[in-house]
């Protein structure tokens, strides 16, 4: 191949090819060979151009960061000058403080690693809690954030008449506000106390939910307990329907069942993580953000 501007791991071929098409880029796969002993070897496309994008959404990370380390370092050895990571979902952003001595602050370590490898990192609705800007977590030349909230708000408004958006915890205000303001929707934010991975206590806001179509909007559904706990309370207060809209569907079969059994009618998500609940694509927004960075 003569030039490979966007390279990708083969598990994510469809999304990468769609993005390459939107950005009018050449593309090529990073080949992976797995050895019997658990080690692996990568091979990048030949003849990379001087600016390269690596597409890799980082849910279920296991050895994804090691793959990125190998691929990014190899791209540099091959002469790549500008290296961009496109990671629609960026894992490890939630672990941003040590609550016990010796506890790992994963956000800082992953942020430093990515900053040592890339010139630009772009992601979607990273979970930033105690910091406000992505560059504080990833000290890189350009740390770009795209939000899926307006898109999810728009989708909710298409599907339900005059929906009421509710964020399940104080951190969700950053997404709820964007979704509501962009689509002129009512919104409110609940309070959450997390006792454990599986035990979550929600305190609903005072806003009336009776006879409303409520859409719970959040960045992530993982175990599903945050959303499931809120649904129960909202239905008991007389909401007509409750749907869920999340940017990143980190939803396994158990979570899906939990959410469905809680009374949620629909689960809507973006393709930042490929899942059967995907209803909107965030890739056009990512393409626009990267193309406008290149114009500056």
Q: Which residues of this chain interact with ligand R5P, rule CB under 6 A?
A: 127, 168-169, 171-172, 200, 218-226
CB of 29 to ligand R5P, least distance (A): 31
Closer to ligand R5P by Cβ: residue 53 or 89 = 89
Closer to ligand R5P by Cβ: residue 75 or 250 = 250
Number of residues written out for the chain: 296
Closer to ligand R5P by Cβ: residue 127 or 160 = 127
CB of 130 to ligand R5P, least distance (A): 12
CB of 246 to ligand R5P, least distance (A): 8
CB of 65 to ligand R5P, least distance (A): 20
Closer to ligand R5P by Cβ: residue 147 or 222 = 222
HEC readout, the chain: CCCCCEEEEHHHHHHHHHHHHHCCCCEEEEEEEECCCCCEEEECCCCCCCEEEEECCCCCCCCHHHHHHHHHHHHHHCCCCEEEEEECCCCCCCCCCCCCCCCCCHHHHHHHHHHHHCCEEEEECCCCCCCCCHHHHCCCCEEEEECCHHHHHHHHHHHCCCCEEEECCHHHHHHHHHHHHHHCCEEEECEEEECCCCCEEEECCCCCCCCCEEEEEEEEECCCHHHHHHHHHHHHCCCCEEEEEEEEECCCHHHHHHHHHCCCCCEEEECCCCCCCEEECCHHHHHHHHHHHHHC
CB of 143 to ligand R5P, least distance (A): 19
CB of 175 to ligand R5P, least distance (A): 9
Closer to ligand R5P by Cβ: residue 153 or 224 = 224
Residue 2 to residues 26, 52, 83, 241: CA-CA distances in angstroms? Answer: 9, 13, 18, 53
CB of 216 to ligand R5P, least distance (A): 10
- C-alpha span between 25 and 17 (Å, rounded): 9
- Answer whether 153's CB lies under 8 Å from 165's CB: yes
Closer to ligand R5P by Cβ: residue 52 or 93 = 93
CB of 261 to ligand R5P, least distance (A): 15
Closer to ligand R5P by Cβ: residue 171 or 243 = 171
Closer to ligand R5P by Cβ: residue 44 or 151 = 151
């Amino acid at each position: 191949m003569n030039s490979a501007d966007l390279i990708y791991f083969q598990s994510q071929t469809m999304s990468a090819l769609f993005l390459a098409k939107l950005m009018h880029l050449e593309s090529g796969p990073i080949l992976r060979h797995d050895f019997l002993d658990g080690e692996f070897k990568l091979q990048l496309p030949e003849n990379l151009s001087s600016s390269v994008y690596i597409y890799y959404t980082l849910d279920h990370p296991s050895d994804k960061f090691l793959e990125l380390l190998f691929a990014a370092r190899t791209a540099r050895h091959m002469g790549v000058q500008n290296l961009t990571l496109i990671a629609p979902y960026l894992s490890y952003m939630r672990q941003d403080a040590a609550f016990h001595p010796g506890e790992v602050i994963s956000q800082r370590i992953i942020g430093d690693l990515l900053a040592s490898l890339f010139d630009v990192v772009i992601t979607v609705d990273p979970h930033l809690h105690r910091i406000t800007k992505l560059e504080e977590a990833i000290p890189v030349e350009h740390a770009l954030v795209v939000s899926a909230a307006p898109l999810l708000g728009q989708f909710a408004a298409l599907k339900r008449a005059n929906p009421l958006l509710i964020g399940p915890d104080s951190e969700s205000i950053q997404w709820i506000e964007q979704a509501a303001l962009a689509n002129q929707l009512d919104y409110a934010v609940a309070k959450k106390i997390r006792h454990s991975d599986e035990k979550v206590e929600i305190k609903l806001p005072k806003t009336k939910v009776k006879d409303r179509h409520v859409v719970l909007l959040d960045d992530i559904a993982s175990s599903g307990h945050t959303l499931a706990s809120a649904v129960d309370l909202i239905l008991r207060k007389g909401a007509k329907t409750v749907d869920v809209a999340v940017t990143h569907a980190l939803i396994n079969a158990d979570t899906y069942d939990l959410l469905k059994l809680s009374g949620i009618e629909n689960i809507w998500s973006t393709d930042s993580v490929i899942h059967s609940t995907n209803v909107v694509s965030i890739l056009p927004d990512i393409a626009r953000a990267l193309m406008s960075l290149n114009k500056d």
